[in-house]
Amino acid sequence: MKQKIYNQLLQAKLENKKMLAILLDPDKVVLENLDFLISKINHSPATHVFIGGSLVTTNILDELIIRLTQKITLPIVLFPGNPSQISTEANAILFLSLISGRNPDYLIEHQVKAAPILKQTQLEIISTGYILIESGNETAVERISKTKPLDRNNIDYVIQTAQAGEMLGNKLIYLEAGSGAKQAVPLEMIKKVAQNIEIPLVVGGGIVNLQGIQKAYDAGADLVVIGTAFENDLNFFNK
């Protein structure tokens, strides 16, 4: 299986080039306004577009991605909450395992269900150790996965979890505060985790301004994910 997008991530990490993903939740995208959204993405510093949500109820996924790929050259990466959110129109998928939780459905069950579907696609599969960090309020990931986030003060345990994820063969570690989180992942935690793993580190959830992105990069994040802040203000990156 080709690993084009992942190899680009590795190369960027090697060159210390920071990456940025805009996360689009298909439930919140209004197709009639898509051209405007696309022009805002094309004028932003984004390097990737992630698509997904904890609970996607609309069925516009294929159409959305087809229309995005017509006008956006950035890689389109699925970030699915469950196996129903697979689209052959995307370039890659984050094959997530929620390793902070102890719910077998999100550790392996959904992945087993998704495997035969993915086998029939050309999607690049990027296995990702997904770690939910306590962020001051109950987020959708916590509610839907029925798992508890990791204590934001127990950095050692988060490091241990990230290292286990890497040893299991994951290609990315994703520190997630949850969409719309009150508090983003602590900078000290980003720093320590980045120092203790070799694979690229993705950080997202609750980052609401450009300084927040820069601070996450400075702490050691290789790729930052911005969802809510861009969704609420399409001029977010012009500031």
Interface of this chain with ligand 1GP, residues 20 to 49, rule: CB under 6 A: 23
CB closer to ligand 1GP, 7 vs 137: 137
Interface of this chain with ligand 1GP, residues 171 to 210, rule: CB under 6 A: 176, 179-181, 204-207
- Nearest distance in Å: CB 100, ligand 1GP: 13
Residue 117 Cα distances to 97, 110, 133, angstroms: 17, 11, 30
Question: Which string of b and e fits 183-201 if b means at least 16 CB within 10 Å?
Answer: ebbbbebbbbbbebbebbb
CB closer to ligand 1GP, 68 vs 81: 81
For ligand 1GP, which stretch binds (CB under 6 A), given 4-12, 105-113, 164-172, 219-227?
Answer: 219-227
- Nearest distance in Å: CB 60, ligand 1GP: 19
CB closer to ligand 1GP, 176 vs 222: 176
CB closer to ligand 1GP, 167 vs 202: 202
Beta bridge partners of 176: 132, 204
Q: How far apart are CA 19 and CA 50, in angstroms?
A: 12
Sole binder of ligand 1GP in the list 56, 123, 194, 225 (CB under 6 A): 225
Place of tokens 């109950």: 138
Q: Contact between 150 and ligand 1GP (CB under 6 A)?
A: no
From 87, 88, 185, select the one nearest 135 (Cα to Cα).
185
Q: How far apart are CA 115 and CA 95, in angstroms?
A: 10
Place of tokens 């508090």: 183
Number of residues that bind ligand 1GP (CB under 6 A): 14
Q: How far apart are CA 13 and CA 222, in angstroms?
A: 6
CB closer to ligand 1GP, 124 vs 176: 176
DSSP 40-86: HHHTS--SEEEE--SS---S-HHHHHHHHHHH--SPEEE--SSGGG-
The tokens describing 118, both together, are 């993915």
- Nearest distance in Å: CB 226, ligand 1GP: 5
Lay out the site mask for ligand 1GP across 64-83 (x = CB under 6 A, - = otherwise).
--------------------
- Nearest distance in Å: CB 232, ligand 1GP: 9
Torsion of CA 81, 41, 217, 209, to 10 degrees: -90
Q: Which parts of this chain interact with ligand 1GP (CB under 6 A)?
A: 23, 176, 179-181, 204-207, 225-229
